[in-house]
Amino acid sequence: MHIPGRCLFVNRRWLKTLFAVGLTLAVWIGHSPFISGMASAASFAKKIAIQAVQAGVDDYNSGDYSVAIEHWLEALNGYPADDPVPEKAVIHTNLANAYQQLGQPHKALGALIEAGNIYDQLGMVARMGRIQTEQAQIYASLGQYRRAIALICLPQNVDIQTTNPINVDEPPSPVTLFQNCVEDGAYPLALSTQDLAGQVAALGSLGDAYQLQGDYGSAVVILTAGLHLAHQGPLSDAYEIPMLNSLANAYGRQALLSYQRAEAAKSLTFVSSAQELKVKGDGQFDNAISYVEEALLLVQQRFALIDEPLTDGRSLIPLLTDELRTQLTLLKLSQRRHPVPDLSLTQQRIGQLLQQLPNSRETAYAAIALAKSYQENPQAFSCFSPGTDSIVRTVLDHAQIIAKDIDDFRAQSFATGQLGHFYECQAQISLSSTQKLTYQQEALRLTKLAEWQADEGRDAADSQYLWKWQAGRLYESQGDYTQAMASYHQAITILDSIRDDILTATQDLQFDFRDAVEPLYRKMIKLQLELADNTSYQLSVENGNDDVPLNSLEGALQTVDSLRLAELQNYFGDDCLLSPIRQEQVIELINQNTTSAVISSITVGDQMALILTVPNAAAQLTWVPVNTERLVKTAIDYRQGLERSHDRTYDYHSAAQLYQWIITPFDEVLAEAHVKTLVFIQDGILRSIPMAALWDGAQYLIENYAIATVPSLTLTEPEALRPKELEVLTLGFSDGLCDENGSNCEYAPIWHVEQELQSVRHIFPGSPAPLLNREFTSENLAKALKKNHYSLLHIATHGEFSADPDSTFIVTGDGEKLTFGALEKLIRDNSSNTHPIELIALTACDTGLGSDRSTLGLAGVALRAGARSAIASLWLIDDAITADIMGHFYRNLKEHPNLNKAQALQAAQIAAIQRDGHPGNWAPLILVGNWL
């Protein structure tokens, strides 16, 4: 049964990948074609075939990949179609290499499958393993990481907490590291045949797949084991440099994640945590630089050993390619440093290598990456640094020449589109209005050409949206808002259609999302709000979904919803595909609940917009009357005041200020509509604070309105609670995770957990005994779910909402950190019910550092745990008070069927207020998801 608004777990179709992925993958097998293993002679046809193979090798080494393919296809005709000889497998493998150089991964996979079938028929196990490694490499480049990993190995018990370099002299044993590999995986096949080169290649490809999936700790362990093998004897020349580059990339990504978390901590004035994370990131970054510098040193040493007069230039191509990849890795890492170091020597050397290497998709993208390195910052459409105009234009012209030479429309699209952006930047700095218009026209011409080239290229929707976005900016700069709106809308429509693919194609996008995707949505929303707010401006534009005019508040809300879905999909990655309900169901949800209103917040530029939606009425817009910097400071002051719940007095100033900015503008409308429930869809800092304790000067907001928060209305099921069917399973962990002396605790004991669980069970007397402490394990939870269907799960244990979904978890009684993805899978695999869990309560959680990504984990907790709604705490609060509030909440649900979940929580929190409770003791408990 399909349940709207939940995560879907499906077999992924082939994913489209951002071109940046191609610049980070090492090539573990197939640096160049080979003819070893070809029969010496047997027939005249075979002799002709061997000559064709050699001609193809010569063409390949000269960069004539298309001609090489023609020769190798000709060579295949020299062998009977039904004759599975190794020579044919060699030719198919060479064809795969050439197809990849031309940017045709699907044809490359087909060729590898043909080669694999031949080796399988001949029982050539080692060769079969190598073919699987090459297939895995291509699947990883297409974003299908799980399929890539499955082709090589499914390792268990990898220490993913690795943050420091592993001693290469004492690495983890590959034999013990991957004890649970499937027998026909590439790595066990290489082990069984003692194929050392096959083992190294498999580990390299496996490590890359893990780091592209975002599992950097596992990637480091795997790649370090591979590096240890690569140091052995004759393998070093082929594999050391790629392995060092991959390790540098893995540590670089780890560092970026640490820096991102440090910035989030700093923004919330968590100075100590911010410093710790920065130090951690610095260490990871130093590791990355040390590995890439070691790779460059090896390149220099190997060049020094070459006798130039006796060396054929074509034989240098593998080493030159290794250096290009290493220099690109150094360039990418250096751009992430603060401050960015002088890149001129690296940029100059990459330019030289592009002149020396044959044209290929790799060199085309390398040229584009080189041009982009001259941008002032890493944002998708940042302009170029002053004084670099000439070199940027030259490099992009060269990228176009390469792409045209290899007949690669996809590469042409990126090169042409970037050149269009170059002229867009020229128009921005031009002082002459005539010259400015000329530049804008040339930028628009090139952008349109890039769109056409993207249409001609296969799987190019991920570039198409970039050029629609660019066209929108150009139209807007010319004052053509009709065309600008249409272009932005087309770009977002493309993004929405490939959201599941592009936002999960590489975990790099968890870093790049705000630079490469999010600004498009906010640009569109800004224009929509400006035009909707300006009634004097008449605009003729197409309608959006369900015939909603784009230049209306309703149209803006649809774009905001698309952004929310994109954020969550990017956060969850490929573990969870979102399944939104239709827009007409959203309208029905609002209009049928006549006492509920929705307030959506959205940051646009330096201001926060607030849009109110009430049943059967037009949406209303207001703006927070201060800039975002002041809003953030006030919100932080408000939260920190609430967190000081042990203070005898409470300072209402920040709570009153936020009420005035967020609620007061809508007071009259809410009163006239007789609204009883406020549903918030929050953005930015507002995700980190509870609305319940906003202060109107006499009362808290919760005293006048029931309150809920949802990640998106299209992810909220329009179905009310069925109180007669409530059955609860209670779980808890009170002991804490401490050392033997009990003095050093990762998680302190929660003293009133047992009291809380027994209280809940008393309200629902037919419920089973709680799973407490050591009884609370994944295995016991699975058994309990198999026995019975539960509509409520009450979990009293430590939990964290992190910027990383893999670090968003609850702690079980045996110390396991059970991620919400694992929890959802456990519920899904062991529950026989066709309906989702109504409510999951998590009463001892913490939003960690409170970054936007951390609060996405909180916003999506119900989705990820497979429930309609959730009650969770924004930070850890007094567990005795929590037990009391949750007891009131459950009694309200059971005894007052006329109350919805939001109203039941409201009544429980009002009871806490009447007991003279500090707002910091009750406000952090929030309802997420379906409030009915």
> Which domain CATH number covers 99?
1.25.40.10
Residues 87 and 206 occupy one common structural domain: no
Q: Which of 82-96, 172-186, 371-385, 579-593 has the lowest mean pLDDT?
A: 172-186
In a domain, 763, yes or no: yes
Residues 767 and 859 occupy one common structural domain: yes
Q: Tens digits of per-residue pLDDT, 733-747?
A: 998 888 776 667 888
State both tokens at 107.
């044809």
Q: What are phi and psi of 694, to 5 degrees?
A: -60, 145
Residues 709 and 679 occupy one common structural domain: yes
Residues 766 and 886 occupy one common structural domain: yes
Where do the H-state alpha helices sit in 336-432? 344-356, 361-372, 389-405, 409-429
Q: Which of 109-113, 644-648, 655-659 has the lowest mean pLDDT?
A: 644-648
CATH number of the domain encompassing residue 704: 3.30.420
Average pLDDT of the segment spanning 594-602? 95
Q: Which of 156-170, 192-206, 616-630, 790-804 has the lowest mean pLDDT?
A: 156-170
Say yes or no to pLDDT of 827 above 90.
no
Say yes or no to pLDDT of 858 above 80.
no
State both tokens at 194.
């003692």
pLDDT at site 535: 59
Say yes or no to pLDDT of 593 above 70.
yes
Question: Is the pLDDT higher at 753 or at 160?
Answer: 753
Say yes or no to pLDDT of 837 above 90.
no
Yes or no: say if 882 and 645 are a contact pair by the CB < 8 Å rule: no
State how far the Cα of 384 lies from the Cα of 426, in Å rounded to an integer.
9
In a domain, 189, yes or no: yes
Say yes or no to pLDDT of 709 above 90.
yes
Q: What mean pLDDT is reported for the chain?
A: 83
State how far the Cα of 163 lies from the Cα of 906, in Å rounded to an integer.
44
pLDDT at site 65: 84
Q: Tens digits of per-residue pLDDT, 914-932?
A: 987 799 999 999 999 999 8
- Number of separate helices (H) and strands (E) present in the chain: 36, 17
State how far the Cα of 378 lies from the Cα of 259, in Å rounded to an integer.
15
Q: Cα–Cα–Cα angle for 124, 126, 128, nearest 5°?
A: 70
Q: Tens digits of per-residue pLDDT, 398-438?
A: 999 999 988 888 899 999 999 999 999 999 999 899 999 99
In a domain, 55, yes or no: yes
pLDDT at site 309: 58
pLDDT at site 39: 46
pLDDT at site 237: 76
State how far the Cα of 16 lies from the Cα of 21, in Å rounded to an integer.
11
What is the percent of the chain where pLDDT is above 90? 47
Yes or no: say if 592 and 719 are a contact pair by the CB < 8 Å rule: no
State how far the Cα of 372 lies from the Cα of 396, in Å rounded to an integer.
9
Residues 149 and 276 occupy one common structural domain: no
User: For 346-381, b where at least 16 C-beta lie within 10 A, e where not — what string?
Assistant: bbebbbebbeebbbbbbbbbbbbbbbbbbbeebebb
- Residue 754 burial by Cβ neighbours in a 10 Å radius (0-12, 13-18, 19+): middle
pLDDT at site 169: 43
Residues 880 and 797 occupy one common structural domain: yes
**Total structural domains in the chain?**
5
pLDDT at site 311: 57
In a domain, 72, yes or no: yes
Residues 599 and 701 occupy one common structural domain: yes
- Single out the residue of 235, 337, 252, 239 nearest to residue 291, CA to CA: 252
Average pLDDT of the segment spanning 568-592? 73
Q: Which of 186-195, 675-684, 846-855, 876-885 has the lowest mean pLDDT?
A: 846-855
pLDDT at site 853: 63
CATH number of the domain encompassing residue 846: 3.40.50.1460
Say yes or no to pLDDT of 466 above 80.
yes
Please, what sign has the CA dihedral across residues 687, 693, 695, 701? Answer: positive
Q: Which of 16-20, 234-238, 847-851 has the lowest mean pLDDT?
A: 16-20
Residues 220 and 243 occupy one common structural domain: no
Say yes or no to pLDDT of 345 above 70.
yes
Average pLDDT of the segment spanning 344-360? 94
Which of 66-70, 503-507, 693-697 holds the top average pLDDT? Answer: 693-697
Q: Which of 103-112, 267-276, 572-581 has the lowest mean pLDDT?
A: 572-581
In a domain, 480, yes or no: no
Going from the C-alpha of 462 to that of each of 103, 484, 500, 553, 714, the distances in angstroms are 15, 19, 12, 28, 24
In a domain, 568, yes or no: no
Say yes or no to pLDDT of 708 above 80.
yes
In a domain, 571, yes or no: no
Sequence-ordered list of residues with C-beta below 8 angstroms from that of 282, at least 6 positions apart, any chain: 255
Q: What is the pTM of this model?
A: 0.83
Maximal CA-CA distance, the chain? 99
What pLDDT band is residue 178 in, cutting at 50, 70 and 90? low
pLDDT at site 267: 66
State how far the Cα of 815 lies from the Cα of 801, in Å rounded to an integer.
17
Say yes or no to pLDDT of 302 above 80.
yes
Residues 644 and 705 occupy one common structural domain: yes
Residues 800 and 881 occupy one common structural domain: yes
Q: Which of 318-332, 543-557, 783-797 has the lowest mean pLDDT?
A: 543-557
What pLDDT band is residue 673 in, cutting at 50, 70 and 90? very high
Residues 148 and 87 occupy one common structural domain: no
Average pLDDT of the segment spanning 582-598? 81
Residues 217 and 245 occupy one common structural domain: no
Q: What are phi and psi of 407, to 5 degrees?
A: 60, 45
- Single out the residue of 836, 599, 817, 809 nearest to residue 722, CA to CA: 836
State how far the Cα of 130 lies from the Cα of 239, in Å rounded to an integer.
14
Read off the DSSP letter of residue 357: S
pLDDT at site 499: 64
Q: Tens digits of per-residue pLDDT, 29-52?
A: 544 555 554 444 455 567 788 888
State how far the Cα of 768 lies from the Cα of 775, in Å rounded to an integer.
13
In a domain, 413, yes or no: no
Please, what sign has the CA dihedral across residues 660, 666, 672, 677? Answer: negative
Q: Tens digits of per-residue pLDDT, 127-172?
A: 999 999 999 998 887 777 778 888 998 654 443 333 344 444 444 5
pLDDT at site 181: 72
Sequence-ordered list of residues with C-beta below 8 angstroms from that of 68, at least 6 positions apart, any chain: 33, 56, 57, 59, 60, 94, 98
Q: Could you tell me the residue range of the domain that residue 877 belongs to? A: 728-929
Average pLDDT of the segment spanning 893-905? 93
State both tokens at 9.
């777990």
- Single out the residue of 458, 426, 431 nearest to residue 442, CA to CA: 426
Say yes or no to pLDDT of 56 above 80.
yes
Q: Which of 96-100, 455-459, 753-757 has the lowest mean pLDDT?
A: 455-459
Say yes or no to pLDDT of 248 above 50.
yes
pLDDT at site 667: 96
Read off the DSSP letter of residue 929: E
Task: Examine the fold and report which residue of 233, 261, 282 is the final residue of a domain before the chain moves on.
Answer: 233
What is the percent of the chain where pLDDT is above 70? 82
* Alpha-carbon 10 to chain mean position: 18
